[in-house]
Amino acid sequence: MALPYDVMNRAEARAMAGENAYSFLRVTRAEIELPDSVDAYDARVYERSRANLDAFIRDGVFLQDAAARFCIYRQTMDGRTQTGLVGCASIDAYESGDIKRHELTRVEKEADRIRHFDACDANTEPVFLTYRADARIDGLIGDFARARAPVCDFVGADGVGHALWVVDDESVTAALVRAFADLEALYIADGHHRSASAYRVGRMRRSAHPGFDGGEAFNFFMAVAFPDKELRIFDYNRVVRDLAGLSVSDFLSEVGARFTVEARGTVSYAPQEKHCFGMFLANAWYALRARENRIPKGDVIGALDVSILQNALLDPVLGVKEPRTDSRIDFVGGIRGLAELERRVRSDMAVAFSLCPVSVAELLAVADSGLILPPKSTWFEPKLGSGLFVHMLS
């Protein structure tokens, strides 16, 4: 098992794989086996991914199920559990919007996974979906898992527990199909690039097979769906490289015009309520609260803390107008802690901001409104394990 392909850089992926010949990173990040002079998007990378996946299958690392099955997947982190259903989602549901999105994708990242899935002839990693918790689904999954031992149960190197059950009772399978069909929508929590790429590959396969009947494997992509009540979103914090030519005192004056400011010295500050922010500047922490005139009323996106910080401070004061592309800003997942913000400011950045996490309810409201969250708004933990299951496309 490995972490998802997009949460580490090339050097980190190589170090994680180490000497393990069967690390799944050799499939999802095959560039680790090639010289650094070979670009990560080189055709040889995708060829190596396919060769390694074929070898894993040939060597019995992966075994093909004799029949189509759901799996129940439970993760445990810091005493919290989330239990989801592993299955396949329809590319038609993705196209129609029954699977709702909240994030834009980047063309180059989407193109990368299109080439990867197409070359491997497989969805190598699942999309992380959520849905509004349903008592019927809770009961079906909970009853099945309580009555049987998992087929695998282990703790990863990062301390996250993973347990997996194969749903081999046809009556339970049929009941789960009916229960999920009755949901109003599924929502992409994490994996927008994977889902968009899987959809594109499915459409490509349909074009190549004009007589398709809709039941072929390429009409679906692999996903794990968790109830919203079990999910945890961490803060996604910001660091900025410079103060746009302002002195520390002048910058603090600009901040004070937009937020109430409390100096906290060396005491770090992780906000616990909306519209509050921590700021680390010149080796000191400050607690900020947005002034009322900076909080838009009746604006689903504008009232988010990531938007308030962007619109009140990062753009007008620091000149970060497009955080998706501006090289002066970087983003730090809350799982790394506030010490990482301090380290970045002391090494290569001028100022850091800690935020209150976006809630799952806010995410669903944004998706229901057909809107898009600002970039780098959500950081889900635990991450789905990669290499536990693969969906072959033919």
- Give the pLDDT confidence of 243-279 residue by residue, as tens digits: 999 999 999 999 999 999 999 999 999 999 999 999 9
- Give the tens place of pLDDT for each residue, 44-80: 999 999 999 999 999 999 999 999 999 999 999 999 9
Q: How far is CA 28 from the centre of its chain?
A: 16
pLDDT in tens, 28-45: 999 999 999 999 999 999
Instruction: Give residue 31's identity as a one-letter amino acid code.
Output: E
| Statement: residue 218 has pLDDT above 90 | yes
Evaluate the omega torsion of the peptide bond into residue 382 and state whether it is cis, within 30 degrees of 0.
Answer: yes
Percent residues over pLDDT 90 in the chain = 97
Q: What mean pLDDT, rounded, does the chain reach?
A: 96
pLDDT of 1 > 90? The answer is: no
Given this model, what pLDDT does residue 201 score?
A: 98
Neighbours of 204 (CB within 10 A): 14
Confidence at residue 298, expressed as pLDDT on a 0 to 100 scale: 87
Phi, psi (degrees; rounded to nearest 5) at 150: -65, 155
Average pLDDT, integer, range 83-102: 98
Report d(CA 151, CA 249) in Å as an integer: 60
Residue 284 pLDDT greater than 90, yes or no: yes
Residues 6+ apart with CB under 8 A from 346: 283
Mean pLDDT of 337-364: 97
Q: State the pTM of this model.
A: 0.92
What is the rounded distance in angstroms from the CA atom of residue 230 to the CA atom of residue 381?
A: 11
Domain ranges of the chain: 5-58, 70-232+380-392, 236-356
Handedness of CA 90, 95, 97, 103 (dihedral sign): positive
Tokens of 267: 């005491």
| pLDDT over 90 (residue 340) | yes
Measured CA to CA, the distance from residue 331 to residue 375 in angstroms comes to 10
How many residues are given for the chain? 394
Query: For residue 168, what pLDDT is reported?
Result: 96
At 184, the pLDDT band (50, 70, 90 cuts) reads very high
Res 375: pLDDT: 87
The predicted model gives 105-117 an average pLDDT of 95
Q: How far is CA 181 from the centre of its chain?
A: 24
**For residue 371, which amino acid is it?**
L
Q: What does the alpha-carbon distance between residue 117 and residue 394 come to, in Å, rounded to a whole number?
A: 12
